[in-house]
Copies of this chain bind each other. A is one copy, B any other.
Amino acid sequence: MYRGSMPRTKGDHEARRRDVSAAVWQVMATRGFAGLTLRAVAAELGATTGLLTHYFPTKQALVEYALDLLEQRTVSRPRRHTGEGLAAFRDALLDILPLTPEATDSNRIWVSSWDTALSDPALSTDHARKYAKGRDRLIERVAAAQELGELSPGNPARIAAGAQAFVLGLVVQALFDPAVFPPARQVELLDDYLAALTASH
């Protein structure tokens, strides 16, 4: 289907981009950034490596595309909205955890991206910026929970940084040991964390 032919219409082009994105995502979810090659994406897509070079002239272009795709899918993922204040803070933390197959793939790709990102100052800065934005969103929810008297009046930035650390580490544990950290266990540990935060005020 893809061999050698170029897209002829805007619709064709967009359909093919979606297929390429799905193939890049699938390769990353299975093999990580270390296994992300033009050859692997071509095999996933049932296309030639030659066709892929049309989209990604270099390995660097493929890595950048993959990182953009990861950010897009993270930003546009479905979010929980079960309430205000502490409930909204908990929702934001649950949204990060690998509680579904889709969230597991996405987290596996995030964790895999860390090796690539730490080796490249520009990518590393970009990751730092993304995590800082994530903390900013948590800070708003901490402040809202404090206003409702559901969280201690401590520094919201410190509470948000601590909570972000907690869920990032829980992601890593759950990816390596899904038998020990199934979704129910992750939620239980997060609730222990939140219970300690709320009990200490």
- Name A's B-contacting residues (CB within 8 A): 30-35, 108, 111-119, 124, 127-128, 131-132, 154, 158-159, 161-162, 164-173, 175-177, 180-181, 188-189, 192-193, 195-197, 199-200
Contacts and interface: CB of A to CB of B under 8 A. Distances in A.
A90 to B, nearest CB: 15
Contact of A165 (B32, B111, B116, B166): B166
A177 B118 contact: no
Q: Is the interface of A mostly helix, strand, loop or mixed?
A: helix
Nearest to A31: B119
Given A170-B165, A196-B196, A118 B114 contact: no
B158 A164 contact: no
- Per assembly, the copies of the chain total 2
A70 to B, nearest CB: 13
A181 B168 CA distance: 15
A167 B158 CA distance: 15
A166 to B, nearest CB: 5
Nearest to A176: B128
B34 A115 contact: yes
Nearest to A165: B169
A165 B158 CA distance: 17
A34 B60 CA distance: 13
